[in-house]
Structure 1
Amino acid sequence: MENRVLKTLEFDKIRDMAATHCTSFAGRSYMEKLVPVSDFDEVVKLLEETDEGLSILRVRGNVPMGGISDIRPHAKRAQMGGMLSAYELMETANTIRASRNLRQFIEAIVADEDIEIPHFIAKKDAIPILTGLEHEINACIDDNAHVVDSASGSLRTIRQGLRMQEGRVREKLESYTRGKNAATMLSDAIVTIRNDRYVIPVKSEYRSHYRGVIHDMSSSGQTLFIEPDAVVQANNEIRRLKLQEQEEIEKILIDLSAKVQEVAHDLFTLVAILSEIDVILAKAKFGKAHKCTKPEVNNKGYIRLTKARHPLLSMEEAVANTIEFGKDITTIVITGPNTGGKTVTLKTVGLCTLMAQAGLPIPALDGSEVAVFDSIYADIGDEQSIEQSLSTFSSHMVNIVDILEKYDDRSLIIFDELGSGTDPQEGAALAISILDEVHGRGARVMATTHYPELKAYGYNRPGVANASVEFDVDTLSPTYRLLIGVPGRSNAFEISKRLGLQDRVIDRAKKFTGTDRGEVDSMILSLETSRVQSEKDAEETHDILLETDRLKRELEEKLAEFDNKKERMEEKAKEKAKKIIEDAKRESEAIISDLRAMRLNVGANVKEHELIEARKRLEGAAPAEAKKKAVKAKAAPRALQTGDEVKVLSYGQKGTLIDKVSDHEWIVQIGILKMKLNQSGLEFVKPEKEKKQYVSTSVAGRDTHVKMELDLRGERYEDAIFRTEKYLDDALLSNYHQVSIIHGKGTGALRQGIQQFLKNHSRVKTYRFGEASEGGHGVTVVELK
């Protein structure tokens, strides 16, 4: 694209507006070089990148792009063997950190958000990982670009000595400021620095009292800044240590600069990618601020802009127009009066095309489409050149001649006031000839003109359409609405009449226009009336469609709300049932705890199997509705017989049929328990091979498996006894013969309490300490009956 065309269509202003949204100088420098491209695939990629940027801004609001500096000059100087300053190294580390933050941000979006951003992922993957260099720089230089003491052992030693020496000098000089004659002989009781040496301010008349080196005097000459002889050597030592400090700092900076040199190429790549991302996000922010959208693109010369606005006009003042041409119609000729908006319409089409080919969203509604052109040419405005002694007509013709030498069928050509600036008859003839030339070779053309001869241009040439900018005769002002298919008509008579010109003068003027002119104006007026009525009908139809869509959405929302309410009620009912069951189980546990307490404290004669039976009875006391949901009985595959292995559906446990009590009841052995159960709650289980002795078996009413060991370390005595008793119940129900209780060694109190409890437990056969491989005296191995 020619720079003159970019300036004529004001693309440079759009670029400057977008550049204000960049967050880094590097990004702004990249944005300043932004130009439209003509490669179709590249345009598609640029627009997709901007659309991804809009998606990221929509879901996250902002992107962490802070801390990015243009470190390319730093990397270049390091590449040449130069030493970077602490500030330049700090900027390098900050830029690397910014790239790391951005990489993590994109990874988080991919993990957390349901959006597709393949171009951002590709750029993230291409960012060089230089975290090692970042950490090395940060270990030596702080956020204020100051080399820290820990940068090297030598620097720490030098600075420690320097601080001690400075402290001694200040202490010595402060003794002068506190002396009995200080108030008389010193201008101020302070210690200050001149020429990097500590001095005191002495009144000039008392300088002989403080023998030493004079380093400076006040502007009035009344105060001398003297370094007393007593601190000269100490100040010399401070000077020597500062030189050593500077030498050590230079060594550190040279070492870090050499490490920057090693990855200089990667730093160039890093800055380029960060700048590209900054530019993409700036385009997206510009589009969001100006309510722009991503257009569809094609390489067939077709343009359809829906409610397009000129982006340099305020959204409140700009009139949106729908413009479509490039398929059957490849040339549009706009006629009408001045200040009607013809030039703005031309610039809107040209500028939207340039913006799209630069990857910028366009100020039009969704669904708009633009073509990718190899070249765009524009001849707009009064380009009269006094320096070149060219008239307005000559200036336009110079541009037009240049366009006619370069254009082809993949060009968009924009002519403003074609043929103006010369004799109207000759200018009209030239305009028609030029339009025939560019239209005949397949270029897409938009032109404006004043000449009435061109009003009929589109009626006898295929692929050409007339258009005009609407004018409101009642208000004597243009509406700026583009009317495609309707040529502009003269409004001079109507305007003159409204302004008070006498009717007889207007009637006499109409006679001079001729019959043909009057018929053409009547035809144009009829077309305008039909166009207005058609647009009115279209708007009413559109409103009806919008109302229909609104009603449909409301119905869908109410249906969704009903479904959600139904689901919430079902969940609430389930939660209520679950709570009832849990309350019943807690009640059962409380009853069992009370029974155990009676046995331990009162010595009640309560058998262990009776306790287990009580728990099962209480669990079975759950609400009928909950049990109905939990138990899904299945018909036995065959008639049950004594000795069959069955599954008790209500407990989820396996048992053996001992005896049949009646037609519908059986005595079932479940572990150590014998229970009378209804046949409908039993399910035949096919015999299996004998399982290993120690298998984790699911406990009735539980979702977890009982482990072979119980860990009581850290428990209080009462809690440990309660957990041990409950654990032994579960182990017995799981048919375990041997379990381990881990109590630790400690003071031995918990071990003794546990073993005393085991000694009195009716279902414990024997117990012993664990072997060395089992945990030794920190574990008690229990054998169950």
Structure 2
Amino acid sequence: MHDILKKLDLTDYIESFSTLLAREKSIILEGDINLHYKLINELSNYDIKAPLEVESLDRALVHIQKQGILKVYEIYEFVKIINYFNYLRRFNFEGKLQEWIDKIIIPTEINKICDYFDSKSNLKDGVDEDYDMVKNAISKNKEQIKQSLYKTINSSKVRTYLVDSQVHYINGEECILVRGGFNHVLKAQVLDRSNSGFFYVLPHSVASLKQSQNDLLNKREEILLKVCKEISSMFEKNLMFLKFINKEFDRFDHYQARLFFAKIDDKNFILPSKKKQNKLVNFSHPALSDAKPISIDFTKSVVMITGVNAGGKTMMLKSILSAVLLSKYLLPYKASKETTVGTFKSINAVLDDPQSVKNDISTFAGRMVEFSKLFGSKMAIVGVDEIELGTDSDEAASLFKVIIEELMQRDIKVIITTHHKRLAALMAANDDVELIAALYDEENQKPTYEFLQGTIGKSYAFETASRYGIPHNVVKKAKEVYGDDKDRLNELIERSSELEKEYQLKITKLDSEINKMERLSRNLQEQKESLDDEIYSEKSKLHKEYKDARDEAKKAIKAKLVKESHQHLNISHQKASDIKAAKVVDAVELKVGDRVKYRSTKGVLISVKGKKAFIENDMGMKVQVKLEDLQRSGNPPKIKTPPKKATITVQKPASGHVKLDLHGQRADEAIDNLDKFLSDALLAGFDEVLVYHGIGTGKLSYAVKKFLDSHPSVQGYTDAHPSQGGFGAKVIKL
């Protein structure tokens, strides 16, 4: 891991991430990356403080397993972890995050240990009566030493010999500084001598108190040893739980550190995808300050980067491999969320000159050794810088063409930087090869650090030489030696690049025009639908007026004005017949499957019977309407949310125990209980449990072994440690 990080210039980036971890560990986050990504996303919704720094507990766990006695500071490291998970339980998590926290059930006796210590890892008052008494005695003793020293300092006999009236600390002892001849007035022990020739002395009156203090400190250590022994014994009984929570703490530490790291400079998590598309969008390599973001499509099997020297080709290669590596280990980086990175089992970087006098290997031979290793890989991505390094270019072009094509057949993605125009020309005919050119600013005579896909780039060796101080007459002679034919080839390459740039600009312009026309078309369609609604509204208004006129005529008939009423009725009927406020309809005939609109309802035409039509609206309801009342809808159909897949919820076991006692049970009863116990342990997330079956006649032991041998989730089992049952118990790995 260190080697690939160094090659890709990611060492400093990873070190800055590692400082956010609570304890030193590998950056690799083992397990289901999709589950990790989901939990990190859920965790980002909460404001959770970072855990305290914690020491590695691997040696402490081994010490417990061997029935050793932990020191106070080692016990307190476990307490830190337990306290942090108790802190997490205060949050009302949801989803997968809550399911995970619920699996971590802390035994009551372990929780009690956490109450023994204060924030400075000292035992609290009330934990042990003897410890409290000794603690108070030490405090009083210190005060007596202090008072005795001040009494000596203020003595009129001693004052003549005092250099100052301060209490000094020499080699951890309180003392006073006096001149020579002090022994005439003070009985004391000389601890040290100052640079000025004075003496640091400890009065005998204080020495007796110091001896008492040492006795009290020794007594305190004896009491602490007793307490540590009791706690270590209890830890031994809960060893499996301690291993489990130690591992889960590292997992949470990984999540929290990644979230904090993502907030710095607004980085994004890019989850590796199983899709074939690979595309970087606005990626900035972490090693560059104020880097120009790059966007590149590297979906094809081979990406060949050519072009100007010092134009950023190597950094482009490193950027692609860096993005793949950071995504693989779920580390955030600066890139747009549109970035898509595939899933690769391994990442290889062939960047350095492998020449070694010690190993008696040439540059080209070293490259061949590195390429030979790739033929045993699958689903890998490899980056090769300056592929032509160390051998004849014409021979190498043919060799590398065949090697690259063979690697493509093995599902290996290859990213190459090269100045091999012949190799580029040979590979350009392959549809699965992407050509990328590093661009050069002819006018200002310097690289642009921009890239153009679909073409071969010119090296600009002569221009680069001039830019870095090679005399112009030397460059001119070199061009003459190079020859007109090859110079014309470079001109054709340059012209090809110019045409490709013009082509890309035209495509961009056409895309803009197409988007503009699509927006205009949508606006016209919306205006048409709005006009249809207005016409329909006016027609409804006229029908209402007609109805009112007819009602008036009926009233006239009831008034027995027969002749006049019939005349009014005929006139009303004639006016209603003259109303021609039909809706605007499409010129194209509607067919089954078309998107249609009926009044304010939109849906899909599912069948037509004569003048009647049946539509299914966007709410899923089927409606029968007149065919003439339908019009085509310009709005795209709404995508229906697929029904949720049926899920089975398995209830989490209520018990978080990792031990089962089968003593006194019949074989069939014991196997049933063992089966349920193993199922509960798997749901709780335990990977190691302890089962007591006893020795007895051996029947129950045999039944347990036979059942464990056939259980699909049991990876293995061994006899327990003598302190945990020996031959009468089994430690089972799940």
Instruction: Select which of 489, 497, 500 maps to 1:527.
Output: 500
Deviation (angstroms), 1:161? 5.5
- 1:191-590 map, 5 Å: 205=181, 207=183, 214=189, 216=191, 218=193, 220=197, 225-227=202-204, 241-299=216-274, 301-314=276-289, 316-325=290-299, 329-403=300-374, 405-408=375-378, 410-489=379-458, 491=460, 511-513=484-486, 522-535=495-508, 538=511
Please report the RMSD computed on the Cα atoms of aligned residues, expressed in angstroms. 4.5
Separation of aligned partners in 1, 2:514 and 2:334: 25
Separation of aligned partners in 2, 1:165 and 1:497: 83
CA contact (8 A) 1:65 1:102 kept: no
CA contact (8 A) 1:486 1:528 kept: no
1:713 corresponds to which residue? none
Deviation (angstroms), 1:362? 4.4
Aligned letter for 1:406? G
Residues 398-427 of structure 1: CA deviation (Å, up to 9, x unaligned) = 212222x3134x232323222332222222
Separation of aligned partners in 2, 1:89 and 1:538: 66
Judging changes above 3 Å, is the alpha-carbon distance between structure 1 residues 286 and 547 closer, same or farther for their aligned structure 2 residues?
farther
Residues 285-343 of structure 1: CA deviation (Å, up to 9, x unaligned) = 333334433335333543122233323223x3233123141xxx422322212212222
1:129 corresponds to which residue? 106
- 1:89-238 map, 5 Å: 89-104=75-90, 107-110=91-94, 118=96, 120-129=97-106, 132-139=109-116, 141-160=117-136, 181-184=157-160, 205=181, 207=183, 214=189, 216=191, 218=193, 220=197, 225-227=202-204
Residues 595-631 of structure 1: CA deviation (Å, up to 9, x unaligned) = xxxxxxxxxxxxxxxxxxxxxxxxxxxxxxxxxxxxx
Aligned letter for 2:15? D
Judging changes above 3 Å, is the alpha-carbon distance between structure 1 residues 514 and 123 closer, same or farther for their aligned structure 2 residues?
same
Residues 653-704 of structure 1: CA deviation (Å, up to 9, x unaligned) = xxxxxxxxxxxxxxxxxxxxxxxxxxxxxxxxxxxxxxxxxxxxxxxxxxxx
Describe the SS at the equivalent of 2:336. coil
Judging changes above 3 Å, is the alpha-carbon distance between structure 1 residues 11 and 496 closer, same or farther for their aligned structure 2 residues?
closer
Residues 236-276 of structure 1: CA deviation (Å, up to 9, x unaligned) = 76665554444334323333333344334333322322222
2:564 corresponds to which residue? none
CA contact (8 A) 1:194 1:216 kept: yes
Deviation (angstroms), 1:165? 6.8
Separation of aligned partners in 2, 1:513 and 1:167: 94
2:715 corresponds to which residue? none
CA contact (8 A) 1:90 1:143 kept: no
Describe the SS at the equivalent of 2:288. coil
Aligned letter for 2:25? S
CA contact (8 A) 2:157 2:185 kept: no
Judging changes above 3 Å, is the alpha-carbon distance between structure 1 residues 393 and 537 closer, same or farther for their aligned structure 2 residues?
farther
Q: Which moved further from structure 2: 354-363 or 256-265?
A: 256-265
Judging changes above 3 Å, is the alpha-carbon distance between structure 1 residues 52 and 354 closer, same or farther for their aligned structure 2 residues?
farther
CA contact (8 A) 2:258 2:331 kept: yes
- 1:8-23 map, 5 Å: 8-10=7-9, 12-22=11-21
CA contact (8 A) 1:301 1:373 kept: no
Aligned letter for 2:498? L
- 1:569-718 map, 5 Å: none
Separation of aligned partners in 1, 2:463 and 2:174: 92
Aligned letter for 1:474? E
Separation of aligned partners in 1, 2:182 and 2:344: 87
Q: Which moved further from structure 2: 512-521 or 257-266?
A: 512-521
Residues 532-564 of structure 1: CA deviation (Å, up to 9, x unaligned) = 433455578789999999xxxxxxxxxxxxxxx
Describe the SS at the equivalent of 2:349. strand
CA contact (8 A) 1:417 1:449 kept: yes
Separation of aligned partners in 1, 2:489 and 2:369: 35
Describe the SS at the equivalent of 1:369. coil
Deviation (angstroms), 1:450? 0.9
Judging changes above 3 Å, is the alpha-carbon distance between structure 1 residues 156 and 7 closer, same or farther for their aligned structure 2 residues?
closer
Judging changes above 3 Å, is the alpha-carbon distance between structure 1 residues 208 and 79 closer, same or farther for their aligned structure 2 residues?
farther
CA contact (8 A) 1:64 1:102 kept: no
Aligned letter for 1:436? E
Separation of aligned partners in 1, 2:493 and 2:160: 107
CA contact (8 A) 1:468 1:482 kept: yes
2:38 corresponds to which residue? 48
Q: Which moved further from structure 2: 440-449 or 350-359?
A: 440-449
Structure 2 spans left out of the alignment, 5+ residues: 523-734
Q: How many residues get paired?
A: 516
Describe the SS at the equivalent of 1:471. strand
CA contact (8 A) 1:186 1:203 kept: yes
Separation of aligned partners in 2, 1:478 and 1:491: 10
Separation of aligned partners in 2, 1:334 and 1:233: 83
With normalisation by structure 1, the TM-score equals 0.56
1:645 corresponds to which residue? none
Separation of aligned partners in 2, 1:490 and 1:235: 82
Deviation (angstroms), 1:198? 9.2
CA contact (8 A) 2:401 2:427 kept: no
Residues 202-223 of structure 1: CA deviation (Å, up to 9, x unaligned) = 876464666x675757564767
Separation of aligned partners in 1, 2:104 and 2:433: 51
Separation of aligned partners in 1, 2:49 and 2:373: 46
Judging changes above 3 Å, is the alpha-carbon distance between structure 1 residues 308 and 547 closer, same or farther for their aligned structure 2 residues?
farther
CA contact (8 A) 2:274 2:343 kept: yes
Deviation (angstroms), 1:483? 1.8
Judging changes above 3 Å, is the alpha-carbon distance between structure 1 residues 257 and 473 closer, same or farther for their aligned structure 2 residues?
same
Question: Taking every aligned residue pair, what percent have the same amino acid on both sides?
Answer: 20
Describe the SS at the equivalent of 1:268. helix
Separation of aligned partners in 2, 1:451 and 1:192: 77
Residues 477-520 of structure 1: CA deviation (Å, up to 9, x unaligned) = 22222222122246578889999889999899874338777656
Deviation (angstroms), 1:530? 1.5
CA contact (8 A) 1:18 1:286 kept: yes
Deviation (angstroms), 1:278? 1.7
Describe the SS at the equivalent of 2:120. coil
Separation of aligned partners in 1, 2:171 and 2:493: 93
CA contact (8 A) 2:158 2:185 kept: no
CA contact (8 A) 2:436 2:453 kept: yes
CA contact (8 A) 2:348 2:381 kept: yes
Aligned letter for 2:51? M
CA contact (8 A) 1:294 1:362 kept: yes
- Is 2:25 the partner of 1:29? yes
Aligned letter for 1:394? A
Judging changes above 3 Å, is the alpha-carbon distance between structure 1 residues 264 and 491 closer, same or farther for their aligned structure 2 residues?
same
| Higher gyration radius (CA) | 1
Describe the SS at the equivalent of 2:431. coil
Separation of aligned partners in 1, 2:291 and 2:420: 29
